[in-house]
Structure 1
Amino acid sequence: MLRISKLTDYGTVILVHLANYERDQLCPATDVAAATHLALPTVQKVLKTLAHSELVVSARGTDGGYRLARPPEQITAAEILDALEGPVAITECSEEDSHCELEGDCLVGSAWKKISRAIRGAMDDIRLSDLRNPPNEFPLRYTILSKSGHNSRLTK
């Protein structure tokens, strides 16, 4: 089953919370924990990872805290996933620098790579601002393989 980790889910919740603040306003980790109902150590761990990935900026001191590094319209769901879990790769051979021992004989590797790229493309189109204020529907603009084996293009 394809599923993001709890930490990635928590990271998204934390980023959505920070997106509600003014661009230059810092939010202490304790406030993030209280508002999101997450344990403070978990919030601190996630914020540290997000800061390392340059999705949030931190400031130390009595007036310190965290804020988004960029406007929510400029942060993609793919970047959030990359920061907390690593790049989207359905299979090991779908990873950028993979060297599968079966690559020369494999008949399905290119299909898995195509699926990984489609998922990545969908996540690149979803912004933190969309997650904060979700539209009724996200646009479907990806080529899918129909049951007949023919490519079809969905656009909504």
Structure 2
Amino acid sequence: MLRLNRMTDYAIVVLGQMAQDVGRVRTAAALADSTGVPVPTVSKLLKQMAGAALVNAHRGAKGGYSLDRPAAAVTVTDIIQALEGPIALTACVDGAEDSCEVERCCPMRGNWNRVNQAIRSALDGVTLADMLDPEGMFPVRTPPAGLHAMPPAGAAE
């Protein structure tokens, strides 16, 4: 099963809160309070995201972290890669640190990169703004006039 870890999910929650007021410096404690994510988790996330230049760290008495770009400029790819590393379904990717024992004779060598690139491209098309407005991303569609829904199987007409 392909699954993102819980920290990535929390990161989207924290970034979503920060996107409410782009450029505002907030502490980990304030973000934890407003999101319900525990302070140690928020602190860890902010450090990782600052290291990946997703958020900016501010030192000093009025220090903290800020998101200095709009939510529409932060892709889901940016978030995942900041917390989980390169997007890949398998270790069979160009530049992977783990080498495969059968790489030299593998008929799939290099083919997984196409799959990984397709997933990366799809995630590049989804932004933090989209995640904050799922109805805008996936609007409810109504059938065209004149068409009506089929009754459920076995329903009396």
> What TM-score results when the alignment is normalised by the length of structure 2?
0.78
- Give distance in 1, aligned partners of 2:131 and 2:40: 24
Query: Structure 1 vs Structure 2: percent identity of aligned residues?
Result: 38
User: In 1, distance between residues paired with 2:16 and 2:89?
Assistant: 26
- RMSD of Structure 2 on Structure 1 (CA): 1.9
Shift of 1:95: 4.5
1:146 is aligned to none
Contact 2:94 2:110 (C-alpha < 8 Å) held by counterparts: no
C-alpha distance after superposition, 1:105-153 (max 9, x if no partner): 2223444222211111111111111112222429xxxxxxxxxxxxxxx
Deviates more, 1:59-68 or 1:40-49: 59-68
Determine the C-alpha separation between the residues in 2 that align with 1:86 and 1:45. 15
Regions of 4+ moved over 6 Å: none
Alignment correspondent of 1:39? 38
Q: Give the match for residue 12 of structure 1.
A: 12
Query: Matched residue pairs, number?
Result: 137
* Structure 2 gap segments, 5+ residues each: 140-157
Structure 1 stretches of 5 or more lacking a match? 139-156
Which secondary structure state, in structure 2, belongs to the residue aligned with residue 66 of structure 1? strand
Give CA-to-partner distance per residue, 1:44-100, whole Å, 9 cap, x none: 011011011110012133332221142222111111111101011111112534543
The structure having more radius of gyration, on CA atoms, is 2
Which whole-Å CA distance do the structure 2 matches of 1:24 and 1:14 have between them? 14
* 8 A contact 1:87–1:95 mirrored in 2: no
Q: 2:109 and 2:31 mapped to 1: Cα distance?
A: 42
* TM-score, normalised with respect to structure 1: 0.78
